[in-house]
């Protein structure tokens, strides 16, 4: 591994930290324009029905109210909120701005536009909506069983797929283990709610300010819905207070853009917390069954799975989500035969969609809980079982056919087991009293971009200013995890100049080059490599200019500390400032470069995580007392931020395992009121999280770097659930492990493990 890196591997704050701590930063929710109107959504109160009548007369009579919009006076063209680029065959265009036929509690019925937020809220309360209620399908079982009640006319199954790879070996004498796992519908819980601001222009164009994760994709949806040419729609990414995938899809941007287009005034649409929970999207609920066959020694022979995913009322991205749940296991384990059936089912419930990990936390929970059952059936240590089956560096993924790259998951497990003192902790008795302790382990894998699905690429340019500073022009979408800083560090390392000497901003379709956005764990691996390649081009031009000034061949020169130096002659150097000024005086063109970088691989990123829990058998409450996250990151570009990513991701994963769920009652209502009835893990309940990084340079990311943001949360829930089962001797597998489930398991009659030999 290269050891002489100057900036890569250090710890740096996010680029706008000073603005954040002083309150100077203008988030999307703070954004304001002169003469701006405010919009308030009116959401369906029934899970399924036809809007028979909307009476907005009292609302529109209120001072300050401009207009009430609904299906009666708005376009009814259908769109897909999850589309990334034009012509994408991702899901049906099944959604309209406002619904005449509502399909879940929270569906958009109308919007009030007024001169103030208070006036809009007051008017919304006066709009009378009369529904003709229809039978509602509130569970996937109801939706699958129904032939006469349909969520959409195309049927209740949004998508079905099956993957069948490899050859099933002879299973004579094999040990068969079966399990089933369910994961809940959850809210993303970003600090800042969803917000969008749009302004039409007299020229017929429009500017949209959004906290979206992909401005170019947002433009495709807005422009085509409003029948506008792309060059007339400008979309600008503004600072956001977190996303976790919840702002990947374009839910309120089309609505806000239409309202601005219709009123010819700037309009702001800011949701409150409950609207974010029920009217945007959720992590989908899933149900997965697994059946494996392995040798008596624990070597996997066959892996068969079936997953059902609750899409909610609109397909959104859930067909693709369900497909990718089928592509996780073979990134992690070697198996001769793998079969996975999946389906996404439409119900009259909140819409499922993108969430951190894109199906990997759901599938990892099911797989890793199952692997612990296999270990129990074979009387093997869970770590030993996993080591017998994990992929090796440069294996090929059985499902995708792509190389897994320098896969260091085995190293993660081995080093983590030592650091966590796994053997000693596992051997310690759980106890038989009220408080019982247990330990658990789980592994997970995720991707690095979209290579293999479509031409994964990024574009950017870099120029040197007259004073020797640099400006990076790229469509970056900062979601709070230091993306802008990461790009600056990569460029700084190549050029030999401190990251503070490099300026970089966020995406703007009018001024920054095309990029797909922040999703799919693509940014560091793909966009970051684009930054490195672009910086290398600028460095080459710097050296050429310096060679002319110093009268030395380029091969005799190197860059460091903002200057070009002559090798073996410490006295001879020329500062970037001087190169910039003298070069421009002689040659006029500035020192700059542009790059379109196409990804060449899509290796897997890995994490193995260890948890120690204490379970109170009287209350059913679980405390996570200790946690170790081991990460195959390739190379940590910004070490402090990588560790912080893992700490935050573990917090999300613990909540997924123990607390968070957004259920609906018999009337299709969620029964929540913001965070009052939705429990997340608070700081006092968090353990000290140790992060152990496994670094190497075996992959094609910048300096060997791989993705971090999503893989960090993939195995967390599985590790926590396995620790609880170890403490109690149970086989709990339905998440979250709320106290009621734990108490019920403790008092359930003992069951025979689902294991047999064939």
Q: Write the pLDDT tens digit of every residue in 540-599.
A: 999 999 998 899 999 999 999 999 999 988 789 999 999 988 876 666 568 999 999 999
Angle at which helices 576-587 and 528-550 cross, to 10°: 70
Q: What span, in angstroms and rounded, lies between the C-alpha atoms of 561 and 684?
A: 43
Classify residue 153 by burial, with Cβ atoms within 10 Å: 0-12, 13-18, 19+.
Answer: exposed
Q: What pLDDT was estimated at residue 584? A: 67
In eight-state DSSP terms, residue 333 is B
Classify residue 146 by burial, with Cβ atoms within 10 Å: 0-12, 13-18, 19+.
Answer: middle
Residues (pLDDT < 50) of the chain are: 1, 751-758
The dihedrals phi and psi of 550, each to the nearest 5 degrees, come to -90, -10
The dihedrals phi and psi of 276, each to the nearest 5 degrees, come to -60, -40
* CATH for the stretch 286-448+602-757: 3.30.365.10
Q: Write the pLDDT tens digit of every residue in 41-66.
A: 999 999 999 999 999 999 999 999 99
755 Cβ partners below 8 Å, 6+ apart?
175, 176, 177, 373, 377
Nearest to 535 by CA among 575, 599, 487: 487
- Name the token pair of 149: 């009640």
**DSSP codes of every residue in 21-57:** HHT----GGG---TT-EEEEEEE-SSSSEEEEEEE-H
Q: What pLDDT was estimated at residue 757? A: 34
Domain ranges of the chain: 17-23+451-598, 31-134+194-270, 286-448+602-757
CB atoms within 10 A of CB 241: 18
State the fold for domain 31-134+194-270: Aldehyde Oxidoreductase; domain 3 (3.90.1170)
Q: Which secondary-structure segment (H or E) carries 256?
A: helix 253-263
> Please, which residues bridge with residue 338 across strands?
165, 303
Q: Do 17-23+451-598 and 286-448+602-757 fold alike per CATH?
A: yes
Between 1.20.120.530, 3.40.50.300, 3.90.190.10, 3.30.365.10, what CATH number should domain 17-23+451-598 receive? 3.30.365.10
């Amino acid at each position: 591994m290269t050891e002489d890196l100057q900036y890569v591997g250090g710890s740096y704050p996010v680029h706008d930290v000073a603005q954040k701590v002083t309150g100077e930063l203008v988030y999307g929710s703070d954004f304001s324009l002169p003469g701006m109107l405010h919009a308030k959504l009116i959401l369906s109160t029934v899970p399924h029905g036809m809007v028979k009548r909307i009476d907005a007369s009292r609302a529109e009579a209120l001072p300050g109210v401009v207009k009430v919009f609904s299906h009666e006076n708005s376009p009814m063209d259908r769109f897909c909120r999850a589309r990334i680029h034009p012509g994408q065959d991702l899901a049906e265009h099944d959604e309209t701005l406002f619904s005449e036929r509502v399909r879940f509690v929270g569906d958009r019925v109308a919007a009030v536009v007024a001169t103030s937020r208070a006036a809009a809220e007051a008017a919304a309360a006066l709009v009378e909506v009369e529904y003709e209620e229809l039978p509602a399908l509130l569970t996937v079982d109801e939706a699958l069983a129904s032939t006469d009640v349909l969520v959409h006319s195309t049927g209740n199954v949004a998508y079905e797929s099956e993957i069948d790879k490899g050859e099933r070996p002879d299973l004579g004498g094999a040990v068969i283990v079966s399990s089933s796992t369910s994961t809940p519908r959850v809210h993303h819980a970003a600090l800042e709610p969803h917000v969008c601001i749009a302004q039409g222009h007299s020229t017929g164009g429009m500017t949209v300010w959004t906290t979206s994760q992909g401005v170019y994709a947002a433009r495709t949806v807005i422009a085509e819905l409003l029948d506008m040419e792309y060059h007339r729609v400008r979309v600008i990414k503004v600072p956001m207070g977190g996303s976790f995938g919840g702002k990947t899809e374009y839910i309120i941007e089309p609505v806000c853009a239409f309202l601005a287009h219709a009123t010819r005034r700037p309009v702001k649409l800011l949701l409150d917390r409950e609207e974010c929970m029920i009217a945007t999207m959720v992590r989908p609920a899933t149900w997965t069954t697994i059946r494996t066959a392995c040798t008596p020694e624990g070597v996997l022979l066959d892996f068969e799975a079936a997953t059902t995913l609750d899409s909610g009322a609109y397909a959104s991205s859930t067909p693709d989500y369900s497909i990718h749940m089928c592509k996780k296991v073979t990134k992690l384990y070697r198996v001769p035969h793998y079969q996975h059936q999946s389906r996404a089912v439409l119900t009259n419930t909140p819409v499922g969609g993108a969430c951190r990990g894109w199906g990997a936390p759901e599938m990892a929970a099911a797989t890793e809980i199952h692997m612990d059952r296999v270990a129990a059936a074979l009387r093997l240590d869970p770590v030993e079982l996993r080591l017998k089956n994990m992929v090796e560096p440069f294996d090929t993924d059985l499902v995708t056919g792509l190389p897994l790259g320098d896969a260091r998951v085995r190293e993660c497990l081995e080093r983590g087991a030592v650091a966590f003192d796994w053997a000693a902790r596992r051997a310690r008795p759980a106890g038989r009293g009220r408080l019982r302790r247990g330990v658990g382990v789980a592994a997970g894998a995720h991707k690095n971009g979209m290579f293999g699905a479509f031409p994964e690429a990024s574009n950017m340019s870099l120029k040197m200013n007259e004073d020797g500073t640099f400006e990076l022009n790229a469509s970056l979408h900062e979601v709070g995890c230091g993306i802008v800083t990461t790009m600056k560090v990569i460029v700084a390392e190549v050029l030999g100049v401190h990251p503070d000497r490099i300026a970089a901003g966020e995406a703007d379709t009018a001024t920054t080059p095309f990029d797909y956005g922040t999703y799919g764990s693509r940014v560091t691996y793909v966009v970051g490599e684009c930054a490195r390649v672009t910086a290398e081009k600028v460095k080459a031009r710097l050296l050429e200019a310096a060679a002319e000034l110093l009268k030395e061949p380029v091969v005799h020169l190197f860059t460091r500390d903002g200057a070009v130096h002559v090798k073996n002659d410490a006295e001879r150097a020329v500062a970037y400032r001087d190169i910039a000024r003298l070069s421009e005086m002689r040659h006029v063109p500035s020192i700059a470069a542009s790059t379109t970088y196409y990804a060449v691989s899509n290796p897997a990123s890995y994490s193995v995580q260890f948890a120690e829990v204490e379970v109170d058998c009287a209350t059913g409450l679980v405390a996570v007392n200790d946690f170790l996250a081991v990460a195959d990151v390739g190379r940590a570009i910004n070490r402090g931020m990588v560790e912080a990513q893992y700490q935050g991701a573990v917090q999300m994963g613990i909540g997924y395992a123990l607390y968070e769920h957004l259920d609906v009652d018999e009337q299709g209502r969620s029964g929540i009121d913001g965070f009052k009835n939705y429990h997340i893990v608070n700081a006092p309940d968090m353990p000290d999280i140790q992060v152990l990084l496994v670094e190497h340079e075996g992959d094609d990311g910048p300096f060997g770097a791989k993705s971090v943001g999503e893989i960090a949360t993939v195995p967390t829930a599985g590790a926590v659930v396995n620790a609880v089962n170890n403490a109690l001797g149970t086989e709990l597998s339905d998440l979250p492990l709320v106290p009621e489930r734990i108490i019920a398991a403790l008092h359930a009659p003992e069951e025979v493990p689902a294991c047999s030999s064939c």
